[in-house]
Amino acid sequence: MPFAAITSAALLLTACGSGDPDGTDASGVAAKNAEVPTTDVVSAVRKDDAAARLLPAGTTSLTVAVSVGGTPPGTTYLADGKTLTGQDVDFTKAVARVLGIRLKVEQASFEAILPALDSGKYDFGASNFGVTDERRKTIDFVTYINDGQGFATREDSKLSKVTDLKQLCGLNVATSAGTTFEATLEQSKHVCTDAGKKAYQVQTYAESSAVWSSLQQGRSDIVMSTINGLRYAVAHQKGLKFLNEYHRLDVGFAFKKGTDLAPAFQAAVNKLHSDGTYDRILKKWGTTGSAIGKSRISPPELKN
């Protein structure tokens, strides 16, 4: 089924694409997420002429790539199994309304979105992309929240706060493919062998539902994922516990390097701050701890 252009006024995103690789189709994800918040925090947003004038001349529509992770506050499905929702969806809808543009929405795997931006396949990506110095070499960002990396495990696990990745030596660590979590884990595996210990094993999955299944079924010992996603999962799934935040990151819309869209998106996010929409979105998704004071274009990676 082809993707249709959707007006910003009606942008409760409807996606097409394959189901997740662990056998959970769209309706299955929707069933698990039947109690996803549905408060409308976007339809009252109006076009801001000052922000819209910052768009390149003649811009009336853009193509956005989104990745459906399966669990809120990340992008997931409503109960109809077709309509996309989530924190990134709400921010994308709201920015589109501020700028007065139409969006063509395409679903893609998380790891495929950033490489495809340079080719022009998509105009931007909206899938909780963390701003890192490595990514900034080839990608421009416009920030809208602060999230980052954290850990969770089963309630019966003896694991506690993870402050050093050497604490993971010998364990199976589940995470999502193509993410900053995978990069952090792979780049640091040597800390175990350097200390004379058995390296941890990184298990990557394309869908967050598969990540959690691996933990619940004992195939993995611990999960590394977004702070907000971990907190939501622990609050809504029995037998899990959140361990700790590990590394905070700014999160932003992603564009090809040198984009001329960034100033308009930055102005739109800041407009959402001033009209109260920003706070309403975070409150809806229970992520008020992720608020940022103002949007920035490709800021340096946070170090903590």
Please list the alpha-helical segments (H only) found in the chain.
26-32, 49-52, 87-99, 110-117, 133-136, 180-187, 190-194, 208-216, 227-236, 262-275, 277-285
d(CA 21, CA 64): 23
Q: Give backbone dihedrals phi and psi of 183, rounded to 5 degrees, phi first.
A: -65, -45
- Is residue 176 helix, strand or coil? strand
52 contacts: CB under 8 Å, gap ≥ 6: 98, 99, 100, 101, 264
* Helix pair 262-275, 87-99: axis angle to 10 deg: 100
d(CA 127, CA 110): 7
Partners of residue 146 on adjacent β-strands: 250
Nearest to 250 by CA among 115, 148, 161: 148
Would you give per-residue pLDDT tens digits along the chain (304 residues)? 332 333 333 344 444 433 333 333 333 343 354 478 999 999 999 999 999 999 999 999 999 999 997 689 999 999 888 999 999 999 999 999 999 999 999 999 999 999 999 999 999 999 999 999 999 999 999 999 999 899 999 999 999 899 999 999 999 999 999 899 999 999 999 999 999 999 999 999 988 889 999 999 999 999 999 999 999 999 988 999 999 999 999 999 999 999 999 999 999 999 999 999 999 999 999 999 999 999 999 999 998 6
